Structure 1
């Protein structure tokens, strides 16, 4: 390709399946360009160093496995990258128009930008980046509503000051990140409505997360991890706003602590699955009167303890409309 590309009328730029292509133009002046897409160019090593594309709305790079970095200055509402050889991102990303950020299958990528200033960003997604160790240290994204990370086997830490910098965050999903041990000490954003954590072996739900202060949180899902939790939930751990709780695969969970649930006046659904050692309810406490669906898969003794009319726990669950214990409808 030419080193300099001056194309004032160009609106869409797409290159694909050019196996011998090694570089893009160094300078790209395309004031009306709205879409930039490069895919399946396995020898491509570099992107334009300078891009003047003020109207760019979508920037997508995929399956360019020799590409090691993105342009320093990207001004686009949507950024997508899927390149196995991709190693680094700009240290500072000032992207005022960026609304969607997606990076996946970049197995050589080790870090995100240190500083990320994206005031209009609403969606942030990272997946299948097995060398990635950290998230942005400072992430200013006051309009971000969805934050998702999955299958990042080397990731150890989350962004700092999430509660102050991600003030509109509604959905936080972290899956299959076995080295993440904790959230920032300042806690999670109080704006959260949905929190999903699964297959994060070193994460244990804790009061430091500040869940009890999240007045908008309605759905909590935790699958796996919590390797030292034998009673759940602790009293005062959860917010009264919860309507759905789903937990599963707590390896040593033995007791459902009713005192930690009894004040959840809006709770409608409680699901506890694949907790093979769960064998008892706490002596003190009750299940909320609002609860309409209870599903528990635990130790086999629970089936008898919850048996209709005669089981020890029957008085505690009789008000619930849908009751399923170890696969049996009670």
Structure 2
């Protein structure tokens, strides 16, 4: 498109509410000035509320993008404008609530030019996203900017070094793949923060002060300084997810926690212990622990201290050999295990009032499963996943089930000679090639053993 064609489009006099301006992604501009003029002539009307500009080849944006000619603009999405070396004063857009800036490879620094001359910049902005800013290193923030910001996301900005404290006053902060970003635990004034997401950002630390509102913490492959997670410092925390925290060793706690609902610890190779007196979390419903090779014991006194627990997942924790010496809470309904010792321990730790209905087993090294009497009597649903050495099923061990799911068991050869118990009304078999061949309708050797089952899924 040339500037005259853009002018003839006459967008300024059309009552547009949503506008997307998209250049070809392979387009290489040989005349940036022409590109600038094209965008200038595509000025939309003041009624516009949502604007997207993608793959723009110019070096700067026309004044109508930021001078409040678009006084009703609510959301602005800018992506892959690779030749822009400076961001315009988007802070002047008085109604803007959502701003997403993606793939601006020419941006090295964001400073005063981003905010404009107004006393309060970005006065309506609620969501700010920066994504894939490969060369971005510095961000200067005005103290009077972003008074209503509630979600800040910085993703794949590998050279960014620091953030202003002003920017940490949002309700939700997401930092992903920021290799050089440094935020120390004492420099974060997070007095209003409710949700914190950190992913693959080794020098970002969790805050240790002003945590009265934090409800969700998700850390995956970051916070290398984190060795002890102090649960008492986060009294309103509902969800805690710690993944790939290379130096995390334990969780500490001295006082009961009245809000924690879900706890996940996954692929933390140094993690070795919970609080010595047990985890005091009466409303905790789910515990998921996976890939913690140093852990030997699960939280103590779960039956007493975790009365709301209904979902327990213990996968690839080779040193954990028993679930609980005192027994599991009676509300436990879902259990996932990858150890035969823990499966044996399961029945021993359940009492007559148990609610257990679902057992998910994965990566268990057995040739035959389940032996008679191994599974708890209350169990009605069994899911067997990724057991490469499993060759056969034991009919007597399946007798109380109503649902059976078999997934990714490549050496499972056939169903029991006796067939399946009549109590089973739902059967799923997927990625079990030898067994699927035998269960084909109508000629499979095991087809008559399953033809009566009402809910049947084979190989989809």
With the length of structure 2 as denominator, give the TM-score of the two structures.
Answer: 0.53
- Offset at residue 67 of structure 1 (A): 2.0
Contact 1:12 1:33 in 2 (8 A): yes
| Alignment-derived partner of residue 265 in structure 2 | 149
Higher mean alpha-carbon deviation, 13-22 vs 179-188, is at: 13-22
Matched, 1:192 2:304: no
Q: How does 1:119-130 map to 2 (within 5 A)?
A: 119-129=235-245
Query: Residue 214 of structure 2: which of 98, 111, 133 is its match?
Result: 98
Contact 1:45 1:67 (C-alpha < 8 Å) held by counterparts: yes
The alignment partner of 1:142 has SS state of coil
Aligned residue in 2 for 1:219: 334
| Matched ranges for 1:110-125 at <5 A | 110-125=226-241
CA contact (8 A) 2:369 2:392 kept: yes
Question: Aligned match of 2:358 in 240, 244, 265?
Answer: 244
Question: Does residue 33 in structure 1 map to residue 146 in structure 2?
Answer: no
Q: How does 1:180-329 map to 2 (within 5 A)?
A: 180-187=295-302, 189-208=306-325, 210-211=327-328, 214-223=329-338, 225=339, 229=341, 232-233=344-345, 235-239=347-351, 240-251=354-365, 256=370, 258-259=372-373, 261=375, 263-264=377-378, 267-272=379-384, 274=387, 276=389, 289=400, 291-294=401-404, 306-308=416-418, 317=421, 319-321=423-425, 327=435
For 2:285 and 2:230, the matched residues in 1 are separated by 23
Does structure 1 conserve the Cα–Cα contact (< 8 Å) formed by 2:251 and 2:273?
no
The question of whether the paired residues in 2 share the 8 Å contact of 1:233 and 1:261 is answered with no
Q: In the alignment, is the contact (CA less than 8 A) between 2:395 and 2:418 conserved in 1?
A: no
Q: Show the counterpart of 2:100.
A: none
Q: CA deviation at 1:237?
A: 2.0
Alpha carbons 1:87, 1:110 under 8 Å: kept: no
Question: Structure 2, unaligned stretches of length 5 or more?
Answer: 1-110, 440-445, 450-460
Distance 1:295 1:61, change over 3 A: closer
Q: Does the aligned pair in 1 maintain the 2:176–2:201 contact within 8 Å?
A: no
Select the structure of larger CA radius of gyration.
2
Q: Which residue matches 1:42? A: 158
Structure 1 portions without partners, runs of 5+: none
| 1:275–1:232 distance in 2 versus 1, CA, 3 Å | farther
**For 1:109 and 1:117, how far apart are their aligned partners in 2?**
17
More helix by percentage: 2
The residue that corresponds to 2:47 in the other structure is none
Change (3 A) 1:88 1:319: closer
Please, what TM-score do these two structures have when normalized by structure 1? 0.71
Assess if the C-alpha contact under 8 Å between 1:38 and 1:60 holds in 2.
yes
Larger strand fraction of residues: 1
Q: Is the 8 A contact 1:232 1:255 kept in 2?
A: no
The Cα shift of 1:175 comes to: 2.4
- Number of residue pairs the alignment of both structures matches: 305
Change (3 A) 1:156 1:29: farther
Q: Deviations over 1:69-101 (max 9, x none)?
A: 3543312111111243326434x3542222221
